Structure 1
Amino acid sequence: MPELDINASADEVVGMLNRGQNREAAARLDALRLNQDAVVQEALDRYVAVRGQEHLTALRAPNALSAEDATALNPTLDRLRGATAAPRFPTDAETQNLSQAQQYDVYASVIGARGTQAARDALGTQDRVILGMRNENSTLDNNGRGEFNDRLVVVWKDADGGRHAREFNHATTEPTAQYDHHAGSDGNRIYADTQRQAPRLAASPGYEDVRTRKIEGDDVNGDRVRDIGRLAEGTVEMVRTEHASNGHTRSGREFSLRPSDEAVRNGANMVERDTNADGWFDSRDVNGVQDLNNSFKIHRGSNTNTDSAGCQTIGGGEHTAFIDTVRANPDQTRWQYVLTSVAPGQQQERAQAPAEQAPNGQGRAASDPRDPGHADHRLYTQIDGHVRALGPPYDRNNEGVNLHLLAEAKQAHLSDISAIATNNATATRAAGETLFMVQGRPGDPAAARVAVSADVATHATPEASLNRLDTINRNQPAAPAPALEDPQRTQQQEAPRRAHQ
């Protein structure tokens, strides 16, 4: 089968949309996607969703389509509506055999969907554009040293218009607890900015095994403890600076990148800070969203330590190649850096299973956690209380959201939901795009956490989620059925206060 030109194929479909050939465009898109790998299908959908945005939005307007056209087009419109959301994180195996042009299109389509106009404009030049893909993890992972489980990608076009991309898979975009003031001080620990000793401070729960370094961060909630930060999702213009080379240069310094002065001036709400010391960044962090400063660099990490206090770092011997790739255009002095989180797990693992009806085609399935005698009823009731506490829009499709979250909780082997939090509202993300189900004491770094796309949850149908639950429960050991209890009393006991926004 000839290689699909993702870019040209997207232009073909968008051209048909712009000529009003809506059903033909949907059919052509389906034909182009047929038998292609998922990573190629996703890139094609992203390009079409971005380039055809105006026309697609008009088609979704009330009464824009006849009943016949709606039946034909709505599946495609629904799929494209989600195409610009946080992307799936493709595995190394999925991209390693793609051509350079296809690799470029996979990642340039993410930049088009998640970046600013400045980043999209840079794709039309010979500038190198940098994409960061964040797999969220706790700052306490690896005893506070961090994990290289993110990806940086450099994409560009050559003088002849050829498309190129290079992946760097030993990267992180997250800070680490070793620099966090919440890890405590013995009275000799140093503040990084003043080089003064920090007063004695007991480590917060969960930080006892962190081998500390100098203290970074800012105290943003007034408790006299500095809060570690990270770049929020969005686009940041970077310029050249220097950073310690970890012994890789004679001078001890080497090329790195930092936010430009213009990026800092325009960087409102571009930093997230962990103020409740749970190792995560979400709506439970008081004053957890702050403005950008120029300390958030892209620089070298070590082989066994990310060395990140909030910077993007590259280890595994890949940093030199990264810098050589970034600097390959001698005329370039500014770099657009687009950072995005990747899709929560349920979008990465599978498409939602088709709905199944009860044997008689009506009513509830025989095994339904909404029934008090069901083994998962207690967990369902906990979720229901937390969703109601969040309020709109999550409570509008209440049963669909609850059952979808229950399936995700069961898939992740959670047995108790003590809180549901949302992502922070930042410069480029609305609050509540991601829901975080938490098992464990609020603020406890040892608590388990599962991220779920709010868009997927709010559009989920009870039938599809019940089908998933049946499959999950068949593959997991059965839990004992609970004693019957008053659901209203359970909700009152277990519903949390509204999360801080």
Structure 2
Amino acid sequence: MSLAQTLIDPDLDQLAATFAASAAQDASAALRAWEDGLAQLDAPMRETAHRLAEARLAWPARLALNATPEGSVVLRQWAADRQQRPALPRLPFLSQRAAYQYCASLVQQRGSRQAANALRQGRLLVLGLRRDTSTLVNKGRGSYDDHIVVLNGWQRRGSVAFFPGNTEPSAQYAHRAQLKAGKPIDDRYKGVAFKKASLVAGEDVNADGLKDAGRLRAGTYFFKEKPDGFLDARAFRSTENQTVERDTDGDGRFLLNDAARIDSKLVGRTMYIHWGGADNVPVVNTWSAGCQTIPRNHYGSFLSAVGRNPSFFYVLIDGQ
């Protein structure tokens, strides 16, 4: 690797390890070296580096940093960053290493402790990067504008594979789109390619007589192969009950002002990972009533990436 490429594509994990080790000894010097090491990076990769460093920081180093003005600023910035949605990547990454480090930093910051430990142990892990999208998009058929990422460190550390994906329900399965006298129950769903009444999905969590669409809430889940598959293909199901967000006002979005929006009781383990319609056809359909779906023309590659009969942590993150 050339010097120029080293400056713009450094080993961020090594930089983070060096910073974490030296901060306890001389916080000010460590910060100067840290900023020099990140000087050539764009904003998303600088954020990646900061997440990796925070994950490695032991208490003595935190105390030393907090005792300096510039160090306390950095710690406050890191705390604030955890409350914000991370910027989603613009593909392709400069290198496979950069892609892996970006994803690993998010797992370490946003995933459960068990998921972060699994990643450090080189175990298979799947990451979902969600871009908020209305359920009404594409005439209610959904959109593959999210990323489903397979991270695999076993025997070849740093393997990462990105796939187009969908992590939200499509309005074609919405109760509000059901037709009565030739019109949808909710006028906002006019033009939605409604499936049929028997396929309506959701739960009426706010007792208004309409089933509310749900999407898997950001967080960490553990998945295994679903023995009988789904939609005539291999599929994966959570080993424990899941939590979903409900669109209770029916505007096609999952927002804080949706009354009774958090549902941890009614969904069970029904938010699968499975294939959806192809994304290389004139009319794209994600086939999602709330599941995580991957286009069928990419699904074979996804299955190859996860292997036979896998079990894995799935870390779902809301991005921007």
Which TM-score band (shorter chain)? 0.7 to 0.9
Shift of 1:103: 1.7
1:296 aligned to which of 271, 279, 289: 271
Measured against aligned partners, the alpha-carbon deviations of 1:393-443 in whole angstroms (never above 9, x if no partner) come to: xxxxxxxxxxxxxxxxxxxxxxxxxxxxxxxxxxxxxxxxxxxxxxxxxxx
Identity %: 27
Determine if contact 1:101/1:162 at 8 Å carries over to the other structure: no
1:276 aligned to which of 249, 266, 280: 249
Give the whole-Å Cα distance in 1 for the aligned partners of 2:319 and 2:256. Answer: 18
Determine if contact 2:20/2:58 at 8 Å carries over to the other structure: no
Matched AA of 1:179: Y
Number of corresponding residues = 302
SS at match of 1:254: coil
SS at match of 1:281: coil
Q: Which runs of 5+ in 1 are unaligned?
A: 188-199, 246-252, 344-501
Query: 2:234 maps to what in 1?
Result: 255
Shift of 1:239: 1.1
Query: 1:132 maps to what in 2?
Result: 128
Mapping of 1:168-179 within 5 angstroms?
168=163, 170-179=164-173
Shift of 1:319: 1.2
2:218 aligned to which of 214, 217, 233: 233
1:208 aligned to which of 180, 190, 200: 190
Determine if contact 1:49/1:83 at 8 Å carries over to the other structure: no
Mapping of 1:301-380 within 5 angstroms?
301-303=276-278, 304-315=284-295, 317-327=297-307, 333-343=310-320
Query: 1:80 maps to what in 2?
Result: 78
Mapping of 1:42-57 within 5 angstroms?
42-52=47-57, 54=59
Call closer, same or farther: CA 1:30–1:333 in 2, change over 3 Å.
same
Query: 1:89 maps to what in 2?
Result: 88
Give the whole-Å Cα distance in 1 for the aligned partners of 2:296 and 2:140. Answer: 18
Determine if contact 2:184/2:190 at 8 Å carries over to the other structure: no
Give the whole-Å Cα distance in 2 for the aligned partners of 1:212 and 1:79. Answer: 46
SS at match of 1:167: strand
Give the whole-Å Cα distance in 2 for the aligned partners of 1:211 and 1:44. Answer: 44
Matched AA of 2:159: H
Shift of 1:154: 0.7
Shift of 1:202: 4.7
Matched AA of 1:334: S
1:35 aligns with 2:34: no
- Between 1 and 2, higher relative CO (CA 8 Å, sep ≥ 6) is seen in 2
Shift of 1:41: 1.8
Mapping of 1:425-436 within 5 angstroms?
none
Mapping of 1:118-197 within 5 angstroms?
118-159=114-155, 162-168=157-163, 170-186=164-180
Call closer, same or farther: CA 1:340–1:177 in 2, change over 3 Å.
same
SS at match of 1:86: coil
SS at match of 1:226: coil
Give the whole-Å Cα distance in 1 for the aligned partners of 2:103 and 2:76. Answer: 22
Give the whole-Å Cα distance in 2 for the aligned partners of 1:255 and 1:25. Answer: 49
SS at match of 2:51: helix
Shift of 1:101: 2.5
SS at match of 2:236: strand
Shift of 1:115: 0.2
Give the whole-Å Cα distance in 1 for the aligned partners of 2:51 and 2:178. Answer: 45
Shift of 1:158: 2.7
1:4 aligns with 2:13: no
SS at match of 2:36: helix
Give the whole-Å Cα distance in 1 for the aligned partners of 2:254 and 2:58. Answer: 31
Give the whole-Å Cα distance in 1 for the aligned partners of 2:175 and 2:291. Answer: 17
Mapping of 1:412-431 within 5 angstroms?
none
Shift of 1:122: 1.1
RMSD: 2.3
Give the whole-Å Cα distance in 2 for the aligned partners of 1:175 and 1:44. Answer: 33
Determine if contact 2:122/2:157 at 8 Å carries over to the other structure: no
Give the whole-Å Cα distance in 2 for the aligned partners of 1:21 and 1:208. Answer: 63
Determine if contact 1:49/1:56 at 8 Å carries over to the other structure: no
Give the whole-Å Cα distance in 2 for the aligned partners of 1:166 and 1:56. Answer: 34
Determine if contact 1:302/1:315 at 8 Å carries over to the other structure: yes
Give the whole-Å Cα distance in 1 for the aligned partners of 2:290 and 2:85. Answer: 21
Measured against aligned partners, the alpha-carbon deviations of 1:354-385 in whole angstroms (never above 9, x if no partner) come to: xxxxxxxxxxxxxxxxxxxxxxxxxxxxxxxx
Determine if contact 1:130/1:152 at 8 Å carries over to the other structure: yes
Call closer, same or farther: CA 1:176–1:59 in 2, change over 3 Å.
farther
Measured against aligned partners, the alpha-carbon deviations of 1:7-29 in whole angstroms (never above 9, x if no partner) come to: 11111101112x24211121121
Shift of 1:205: 2.5
Query: 2:206 maps to what in 1?
Result: 221
Give the whole-Å Cα distance in 1 for the aligned partners of 2:259 and 2:203. Answer: 13
Shift of 1:227: 1.0
Query: 2:281 maps to what in 1?
Result: none
